[in-house]
Structure 1
């Protein structure tokens, strides 16, 4: 067997990674031609190996991207479901607060209707609608009506009442609970505290002197001290919603809702 024939058989046996045209046997094939052909085939096969490796990497990246897109889609759906669940939970809590308030009012009403006439203990205060009893006082918060202190006091006076007087910490606490139970804790409220000028003490509308400091007055973070701060324009007292309904000295142009008391 000649050397040319050996090279020819090697060409036929060499693995082809890329499709190539079949090499037809030639009688005039010489050693140089076969050597050149074998060299080109080796170079071609090396390029095909690199191309196949690159294609495998591209395929893996495409699979990873598809997996990431699927994960993102699932997270978006789960986020939407969580938002819906949170919204439903907030609505349920609001309904629960309203139900508790209704049950509390119903219990007070039944207690008043079913009271024993022979009982010598003091009767609970009877309040006419729309006023409600809070620690023996008849009060009526009106969060739907907003204006200056003087205007809101006139609203109460037209109802035969006046702005509420808060002389004890217990009553302040009970009043705040009443606002929250009615879901009325959404606005600032005017109370019956005022001063006639910057040189006078704060007084209630019944002309009693207001107590200052803890536990009635809130803390003024802007001035790093407890209210009242005695700013010149702050002549009236409000229960400030952002201050957890402690009392603050508010300006004459401040907008608030009245809490009327009979």
Structure 2
């Protein structure tokens, strides 16, 4: 491997292999199938950004600049594997934008590919309010139209204001 690409990987904190790729060869994907800065997570090329924050729209543009799109999490298995990847990589960023919103029509949550986002368990958080009432998510109304996951809510889906500053998870289509 040339010195410059290896140096770039080290500066960006990227690795050529994750702990999951070093195990049983019959059940894992080879990470090198994904172009840098993407890494293989359950057969999908994913980039978990750890070097900047922005609004939902800014971070969508960031994903586009890498040839990808904000991530779509449409299965519980993939969500589990993605969160295990974040944990195994030691990523400590608390909040990530995902590729979903209800900006077009309030209450109609859609991924960036216009498919509908599944509501309820196992994706969305249910929160306790100050008086102990259960607040079903998404619950932010017209002031919270963009989808994220936050460590403070155990990385369940949550709605937030699109102008908040968070990191992002991108994926190749």
**Of 156, 162, 168, which aligns to 1:246?**
156
Deviation track 1:172-201 (CA, whole Å, cap 9, x = no partner) reads 111111111111133200000111245350
Q: In the aligned structure 2, how far is the partner of 1:103 from the partner of 1:205?
A: 28
- Say whether the 8 Å CA contact 2:146–2:159 is kept in structure 1: yes
Equivalent residue in structure 2 for 1:154, among 52, 61, 78: 61
Q: Does 1:231 align with 2:141?
A: yes
How far apart are 1:210 and its partner, in Å?
A: 0.2
- Structure 2 SS opposite 1:217: coil
Q: Aligned partners of 1:137 and 1:103: how far apart in 2?
A: 14
Quote the residue 2:36 is aligned against: 129
1:7 aligned partner: none
Task: Report which of the two has the higher share of helix.
Answer: 1
Aligned: 1:208 with 2:115: yes
DSSP 3-state at the match of 1:171? helix
Runs of 4+ in 1 over 6 A off after TM superposition: none
- Gaps in structure 2 of 5+ consecutive residues: 1-16
1:124 Cα deviation (Å)?
5.9
Task: In structure 1, list runs of 5 or more residues that go unmatched.
Answer: 1-101, 116-122
CA apart distance, 1:165: 0.2
Q: RMSD of the TM alignment (CA)?
A: 2.4
The structure with more radius of gyration:
1
> How far off its partner does 1:240 sit?
1.1
Deviation at 1:106, TM superposition (A): 5.5
RCO (CA 8 Å, sep 6+): is it higher in 1 or 2?
2
Deviation at 1:220, TM superposition (A): 2.3
For residues 107 and 149 of structure 2, the distance between their equivalents in structure 1, rounded to whole angstroms, comes to: 21
Shift in alpha-carbon separation, 1:103–1:199, aligned structure 2, 3 A: closer
Is 1:194–2:101 an aligned residue pair?
Answer: yes
What is the rounded CA distance, in whole Å, between the counterparts of 1:103 and 1:137 in structure 2? Answer: 14
Assess if the C-alpha contact under 8 Å between 1:198 and 1:230 holds in 2. no
Select the residue among 75, 81, 106 that pairs with 1:174. 81
Give TM-score, length-normalised by structure 2: 0.78
Distance 1:105 1:257 in 2: 23
Query: Equivalents in 2 of 1:252, 1:103: separation in Å?
Result: 32
Task: Indicate if the aligned counterparts of 2:72 and 2:99 stay in contact, CA closer than 8 A.
Answer: yes
1:258 maps to which residue? 168
